[in-house]
Structure 1
Amino acid sequence: MDEPGVPETVATYRRLRGLEPSPRAKRRGRRPVVDDEDAPFAPGRDPKGLGDVVDALTRDAGWTGALAREDIILQWREVAGAETAQHTRPLSLDDGRLTVECDSTAWAKQLTLMRAQIVSEITRRFPDAGVDAVRFIGPDVPSWKWGPRTVPGRGPRDTYG
């Protein structure tokens, strides 16, 4: 049973720590594996925190992407910064493109230059949102180029002078 030359105390220590199988372990059967979740002492019956349960529920229902997209809108001040958030507001998120309206065309141009930083911050904070690009637009101004009675060309200015 024991290895020759190994003191009895070391052999006992190994056997008790499970480093060596004991002679009785071969005779003793293992507990049957129970697949029933309601069985006492079954694996997976440990209590879980409320956050873990809600995370599992949203993941199983497929809501993680929608909730992450909503969090971008709600936490825009933290994502973009306090000063930038005063002059911008997110409008829509379609097909991975976030559209943000700015107070002026100057803000839109400046934020267009900072687009890579903002996209990387959104991706870092909300990886499940699926935001690939951000589009910054200026304030809504009237245009002669859109509408039901639009004609190609310069429009009403072509008869001046």
Structure 2
Amino acid sequence: MQKGAPDQSPHDPTGLELARSIANSVGAQQRRRRKHPKHSAPVDQVRSGAAPDDRDPKLLSAALDRLVEAKGWSTDLSVRALLARWPVLVGPTNAAHSWPESYADTVLTVRAESTVWATSLRTMAPQLVAKLNEQLGDGTVTRVKVLGPQGPSWKKGPLSIRDGRGPRDTYG
């Protein structure tokens, strides 16, 4: 050996000694990083375990149920779901000639295609209120307002005259 030359050990053909030295240097770097406070995890950090908690993913249906309950939409959604089955409520013949138009402030508004069908629905309105309250809960619907067909609109364009002459003598 020469003076000042580094001490060289015999060559390891398996590379095991080289792997150990790399692993030790990486381990030493990790130990040094852990000592720094900015890299360490807070002591009071709550960790998730095997049991379910609030941070776990939720089903979409459960999230929607919570949203509906928080916003107070459950009654409106129940009414709309029931009105989607309009033929079951009023019968297929009446349903072919009428449709629910709106629900607001416990009043259900129904539109009929003619005055005859509107009269027919008005006669059955008390039974319809009872049937709706039976399925939705008492007081959900207090009145069924039945409207006849809408007449033609004579308003043409944004510059029409309010309270103008109207239909004149054409519709008597």
Q: Of residues 131, 145, 149 in structure 1, which corresponds to 2:141?
A: 131
Matches within 5 A, 1:16-27: none
Q: Of residues 97, 100, 103 in structure 1, which corresponds to 2:110?
A: 100
Secondary structure at 2:111 match in 1: strand
Partner of 1:150: 163
Secondary structure at 1:142 match in 2: coil
Give CA-to-partner distance per residue, 1:86-144, whole Å, 9 cap, x none: 11111111211111111210010111111101111111112278211111111111378
Which structure has the greater CA radius of gyration? 2
Paired-residue identity, %: 31
Q: Does 2:69 correspond to 1:69?
A: no
Counterpart CA distance in 2 for 1:72 and 1:56 is: 18
| Number of corresponding residues | 106
Counterpart CA distance in 2 for 1:155 and 1:86 is: 29
Q: CA RMSD in A?
A: 3.6
Partner of 1:91: 101
When the two structures are superposed, what TM-score results if normalisation uses the length of structure 1?
0.52
Counterpart CA distance in 1 for 2:145 and 2:93 is: 18
Counterpart CA distance in 1 for 2:83 and 2:161 is: 33
Counterpart CA distance in 2 for 1:129 and 1:72 is: 15
The 8 Å contact of residues 79 and 118 in structure 1, kept in 2 or not, is answered as yes
The 8 Å contact of residues 66 and 129 in structure 1, kept in 2 or not, is answered as no
The 8 Å contact of residues 97 and 134 in structure 1, kept in 2 or not, is answered as yes
Q: Of residues 86, 108, 127 in structure 2, which corresponds to 1:117?
A: 127
Give CA-to-partner distance per residue, 1:4-51, whole Å, 9 cap, x none: xxxxxxxxxxxxxxxxxxxxxxxxxxxxxxxxxxxx9xxxxxxxxx9x
Runs of 4+ in 1 over 3 A off after TM superposition: 53-60, 154-157
